[in-house]
Structure 1
Amino acid sequence: MKNKLVILFFLFTSISLRSEAAPASGKNNPGFVLFPLEIASPNGKLNFNLAYSSVDGLVYSFSANSRILIKQSKLGLTSLGTGLPVKVLRRSVNAVWKPVWGKRKIVPEIYNELTLDFNSYKIVVRAYDDGIAFRYNFNREQAPEELTEFNFNGDYTAWYYNGESANIGPEKLSDCNDKRLPVMTIKVDDNNYLAIHEASLSYGEPLILNSEKKQTIFTIASRPNDAWKVIMYGTTPGQMVDSHLLELLNPPPSKNMDFSWVKPGVAVWDWRIAGAQVDDFKYEMSLPSWKRMVDFAAENNIRYLALDADWYGPEFGPNSDPIKGGKVVQVHQIIKYAETKHVGIWLYLNDVGGRRFPIESTLKQYSDWGAAGIKYGFMSGSPSEKNERTRMITELCAKYHLLCDFHDGPVHPYGQMRTYPNAVTREYCQAQLDGSTVLEPKTFVTSVFVNMLAGPLDMNNGLADLTQAGRLHGPAYATNTTLCGEAACTLITFSGVTVIPDIPENYRKHPEILQFIASQKMPWLESKTIKGEIGEFIVMARQASDETWLIGAVTNENSRKLDIPLTFLKKGRYKALVIQDGPTASYKKANEHINVLHKDVDSTDILQVELAPGGGACILIKQ
């Protein structure tokens, strides 16, 4: 048996290691020590070059396809030695990652690695085909200062995360005169795109970038930690959307952890249904409405119902007991009822209750009740405190078989779903229906190229009634979308739980839209951003677990026609259901007009769709 395991390991993984002596000083330039150090991506198209300057110390540059995109930039840590490394180690890895869930079923894990050993600390660099990452390994008690720079080789255009508001950007690098939060997405030109983020943030303060006006150099304003600093690269922005670089930089799960219970899927939600009137029934956040939602979910193979705030008392109330308070008896009843329908129940937990009552006892109790997951809201504390508390809660949820979703200014995703697949989503964005400001069409088609590069997002898209009349928690603003645009967003937004906000009756009014949403059976077998441009539009294709292909297209405030090639299909004939905006649809008015087309297609076909202003299109393809 042991021999068989060894053979299987080498079938899937190939690792080579070799060491080098420390590099010598350059003779032709006494002020510069030229390392014989370059690390290239496996395909040879990305290069990370290291040199040593008597003025700046250790420096690096980054190039793609022989073009320098980041020029000489500082690297290293102060107070831990600024000389040459005493040892250099190289290795290459060629392996396969099979995620529990994600953008695709099988992910190649191929990279070259370079380690510089300075005795007091190490710098590790990895080169993948879709980016470069480097990290500092040092003793946490040393508390050094970080020298890292990103000295961009031009005044490129950038976008940044901006909390629960629209993203910052487009902004020229030289116009920035402040701190910025990642993800930092950069357009060099029509054929070169970059993104700056971090991966595997095991402790400490999340990444903060800083720049001064009239410069194109960004530095690190956050305290040093052992997270990977990541430079993502793509010849299109869609290549970065499809990347797994951040997850691959995180460690695999502990061998004693079983995550086979983690099941991604669509969830209905009780927060936005409250107040909706249908004939003589008024929806509330209580057992009768919950049962109607569970029945609807079961009928359409929707996996979850999420119960939001106030079920155990006022969410910010200091005496609201998350185990005994409020409607806890009804919660027991709905969990048991949902079990008979094979629907899981998520429970909301506010940070007030999470801190005033023992968090592990609370989570264990939810697990014992049979809950499927928790939505954790309004976490308090400094960024570093929030990071470490988020990790602690995620680990406890894994221990007690609970999925987790963090809302209200959460710590940014950093690929943690590889180590903890139960970390299925975060509200690291301006959500459609869980904030107090309107989500503009251009913001959505920016966020998917900025925020979504960090990881799965909870955006609450998928309205079937664009007026949201009578809702207790309804937005006091226009929804700024179309029916097709809303449905397409549910597919495009990568998340381990896709939370849709409307009542069953409104979805039943539009059977084709409901069919599109109900067909999003996860985990995905494959995902591909077919085309798109930051702030303009995106076309995304995903293959469901039953091999059905779904395509979603969304545009900004401009209407547009898009050609969608079906080259990703295997040979054979398929049935396509095409749902697109009607001729009078627009984000400026609550118009639910759609056009539906049935068509036979194959891999040689190109489907043309028409998107209304702020609208979208949905395509379902089956054999």
Structure 2
Amino acid sequence: MKQFIKSISILSFLLLLSTWVAAQELNSPDGNFTMDFLLLEDGTPTYQLNFKDKAIIKSSKLGFELKDDAQSLLDGFTVLESKISAFDETWKPVWGEESEIRNHYNELAITLKQNETERIMVIRFRLFNDGLGFRYEFPQQKNLVYFVIKEERTEFAMTGDHTAFWIPGDYDTQEYDYTESRLSEIRGLFEGAVTPNASQQQFSKTGVQTALMLKTDESIYINLHEAALVNYACMHLDLDDTNFVFTSWLTPDAVGDKGQMQAPRHTPWRTIIASDDATDILASRMTYNLNEPNKIEDTSWIHPVKYIGIWWEMITGSGSWAYTDEFPSVQLGKTDYSKAKPNGRHSANTQHVMDYIDFASENGMDAVLVEGWNVGWEDWFGHHKDDVFDFVTPYPDFDVAELRDYAKSKDVKLVMHHETSGAVRNYERHLDQAYTFMNDNGYDAVKSGYVGDILPKGQNHYNQWAVNHYQFAIEKAADYQIMVNAHEAVRPTGLARTWPNLIGNESARGTEYQAFGGSKPNHVTVLPFTRLIGGPMDYTPGIFEMDVSKLNPDNQSHVNSTLANQLALYVTMYSPLQMAADVIENYKRFPDAFQFIRDVPVDWQQSQYLEAEPGHYITVARQDKNSGDWFVGNVNGTTERTTTVSLGFLEKGKKYEATIYRDGENAHYNTNPQSYKIDSKRVTAKSKLKVRSAPGGGFAISIKEL
């Protein structure tokens, strides 16, 4: 009996020793974060993340379930090698929220060997002062060459029933309003959070999308996302709402596979940004830092864009993309428009576009977006039609050459619109011809769209196949020196660092939904914590007339925002591509308010996040990269509040003029949205401004040196 106990004790000691040997610790440069890597007794890799000596991610498993393989990459591993290194650089983005970004981290690379199969897998961790990024790497090897992912099994084990700001997990859309709830409440609220969309497919009653924003009861803010999504399926999160553990859930292809892999290969980075100050989440550049450096050698043709567009009138239903109402169907290259009767509502006609070019020129705008210029809009949606547009043939009332020359004479660019209707193969067949057409006619930016189900049937907007298409379009555009603003594409993951011609994405519920029934008034206080973590959004702000029926009596929608809130969005919703989205007639009604849109830049020297609470308020100050002027924006949730803005970011010893665009005394997003006041004050770095924000309101301030 004693010998048996002695043997068990020795065995336990050896197991403990082997576990201890496999344990590795990594600290952030400032010491606030600690990451522990550990192999369990069965060889399962795990990690844990602490912030200021408190766990924010409990012990969480790592690995993969493979298809048609008895031995998945989940357990049975031993550590072959571990390497710790450090990195510190400062790089300059082509455009951005600041002119320089520091990339500073400590790295731990764990090389694992699965004993039974002799397969090698590397897990690389990078710990920054703002959080953790990690990815899987599969080196060149004989025993793992081609393989199919059945599911990635990365876990994010929460420490409690946190508050979450979430949208339903969906393979085809992110265009949902955010729900604020406890993790334990997601299942019960899920069906109510799903609203109609042109293409959608949920996978679980507790499935949510990244970037996911969380807040603990101890007021620790945690953001879960991914970085550098290339040649891989977009990651969602599926919640075990009993134990509060999220597990990665990849978007499948047409046959249900989650990833076609060939070593050597690596996955995107899985990211955890955390802080006890919400403004640090907004200030984090970790997602960009986990992407590769810029691959475009000559970036002189890439530039921020402030634009207006022939768009809102069609979104509200007062105008039309289609030229005629006579054709029940259209066949590409075979339908004769020369004899068709115009419907009288087609917005993209030559004279109307000229009016917008004139307005842009008079008000210092860079460009005009024109949608509905090309043939095919009479029969473009819902029929799973592959060859719907050719992206080069205009309607009879849209004179390409005349508008090209007129825009050039006014020093204004036209922005091309490519709606694919989800017919991805058709778009790729026409891309070279379409981009050549753009080069020939002076278009240097394109808004692409992917409305509806992806073709071929069975593919999704966010699977590996579609992700590869979006990347192909971006890289092909770079060959033609064209900037891309992709709508309905996969959410961004910092790739604009590598491909800075990707100057915008939609990939979330934008302003257009204000004409489709409205969005929550606090929607814009959540988006910077979620969707914008991966890159800028073409949110299309600047609506001045909140009663949509004024444009279209058949549309009773209401824009849930005050006018001052709309101005603030140009500062709080960062993008190098900013649209003045309303019709020009409404801007002419409020010329004093429109002055802020004229003045506000779209490229910044530096940004300071003055206060923030997801779902409630955000106040941001940014300095213009060119003039040195400062601009402040505040967006507010549903509760009236007063903000004290300390102007310590101004240069000491200098005097400035602050112009404050604020909510009127009785302003309210629903009952009195167009009530606003404009004040001017002399200020210095010692000044403090107290400004009230109405429900769904906010304020915008321009500060110029005297």
Deviation at 1:396, TM superposition (A): 1.1
Aligned match of 1:19: none
CA distance in 2, matches of 1:388, 1:587: 41
Q: Is the 8 A contact 1:265 1:523 kept in 2?
A: no
Name whichever of 387-396 and 74-83 sits farther off: 74-83
Cα distance, 1:568–1:142 mapped onto 2, change above 3 Å: same
1:98 aligns with 2:92: yes
Aligned match of 2:77: 83
Cα distance, 1:541–1:291 mapped onto 2, change above 3 Å: same
Aligned match of 2:137: 137
SS in 1 for 2:302: coil
| Aligned mate of 2:278, from 213, 228, 237 | 237
1:558 aligns with 2:569: no
| Aligned mate of 2:472, from 369, 392, 411 | 392
Q: Deviations over 1:362-382 (max 9, x none)?
A: 122212221121111125232
Deviation at 1:312, TM superposition (A): 3.4
Aligned match of 1:347: 416
Aligned match of 2:701: 619
Deviation at 1:590, TM superposition (A): 5.2
Map 1:274-293 onto structure 2 (within 5 A): 275=318, 284-293=347-356
Deviation at 1:355, TM superposition (A): 3.8
Map 1:189-228 onto structure 2 (within 5 A): 189=217, 191-222=219-250, 223=258, 226-228=267-269
The aligned amino acid for 2:416 is L
Q: Is the 8 A contact 1:34 1:52 kept in 2?
A: no
Deviation at 1:475, TM superposition (A): 5.3
Aligned match of 1:376: 448
Deviation at 1:118, TM superposition (A): 2.3
Aligned match of 1:6: none
1:269 aligns with 2:313: no
1:426 aligns with 2:495: no
Q: Is the 8 A contact 1:487 1:516 kept in 2?
A: yes
Aligned match of 1:13: none
Aligned match of 2:202: none
Name whichever of 33-42 and 105-114 sits farther off: 33-42
Q: Is the 8 A contact 1:58 1:82 kept in 2?
A: no
1:515 aligns with 2:595: yes
Q: Is the 8 A contact 1:482 1:586 kept in 2?
A: yes
The aligned amino acid for 2:664 is G
The aligned amino acid for 2:361 is A
Cα distance, 1:207–1:328 mapped onto 2, change above 3 Å: farther
Cα distance, 1:451–1:493 mapped onto 2, change above 3 Å: same
Map 1:289-328 onto structure 2 (within 5 A): 289-314=352-377, 316-317=379-380, 318=387, 320-327=389-396
Q: Deviations over 1:154-178 (max 9, x none)?
A: 2211112442120133332575552
Deviation at 1:190, TM superposition (A): 5.7
CA distance in 2, matches of 1:165, 1:148: 25
SS in 2 for 1:155: coil
CA distance in 1, matches of 2:214, 2:23: 30
Name whichever of 398-407 and 430-439 sits farther off: 430-439
1:463 aligns with 2:551: no
Deviation at 1:26, TM superposition (A): 7.3
1:605 aligns with 2:616: no
Aligned match of 1:146: 152
Q: Is the 8 A contact 2:288 2:534 kept in 1?
A: no
Q: Is the 8 A contact 1:74 1:149 kept in 2?
A: yes
Task: Using structure 1 for the length normalisation, give the TM-score.
Answer: 0.89
The aligned amino acid for 2:601 is K
Name whichever of 231-240 and 387-396 sits farther off: 231-240
Cα distance, 1:190–1:611 mapped onto 2, change above 3 Å: farther
Moved over 6 A (4+): none
SS in 1 for 2:16: coil
The aligned amino acid for 1:142 is F
| Aligned mate of 1:156, from 155, 159, 162 | 162
CA distance in 2, matches of 1:550, 1:190: 33
Cα distance, 1:35–1:486 mapped onto 2, change above 3 Å: same
SS in 1 for 2:470: helix
Q: Is the 8 A contact 2:578 2:602 kept in 1?
A: no
Deviation at 1:465, TM superposition (A): 2.3
- Give structure 2 stretches of 5+ with no counterpart: 1-11, 66-71, 114-119, 140-144, 169-173, 188-204, 251-257, 260-265, 320-343, 381-386
Name whichever of 505-514 and 97-106 sits farther off: 505-514
Q: Deviations over 1:518-568 (max 9, x none)?
A: 222232111222112111111121212221111111112222111111122
CA distance in 2, matches of 1:117, 1:614: 51
Deviation at 1:27, TM superposition (A): 5.5
Q: Is the 8 A contact 2:646 2:687 kept in 1?
A: yes
Aligned match of 1:332: 401
CA distance in 2, matches of 1:601, 1:583: 23
| Aligned mate of 1:526, from 594, 606, 622 | 606
Q: Is the 8 A contact 1:283 1:289 kept in 2?
A: no
Cα distance, 1:311–1:557 mapped onto 2, change above 3 Å: farther
Name whichever of 588-597 and 90-99 sits farther off: 588-597
CA-based RMSD? 2.5
Q: Is the 8 A contact 1:463 1:502 kept in 2?
A: yes
The aligned amino acid for 1:586 is H
| Aligned mate of 1:50, from 37, 42, 45 | 37
CA distance in 1, matches of 2:123, 2:407: 51
Deviation at 1:74, TM superposition (A): 0.8
Deviation at 1:425, TM superposition (A): 1.4
Q: Kindly, what percent of the aligned residue pairs are identical? A: 25
1:569 aligns with 2:563: no
CA distance in 2, matches of 1:215, 1:309: 50
Task: Using structure 2 for the length normalisation, give the TM-score.
Answer: 0.79
Aligned match of 2:566: 486
Q: Is the 8 A contact 1:161 1:429 kept in 2?
A: no
Cα distance, 1:90–1:56 mapped onto 2, change above 3 Å: closer
SS in 2 for 1:118: strand
SS in 1 for 2:358: helix
Deviation at 1:54, TM superposition (A): 0.7
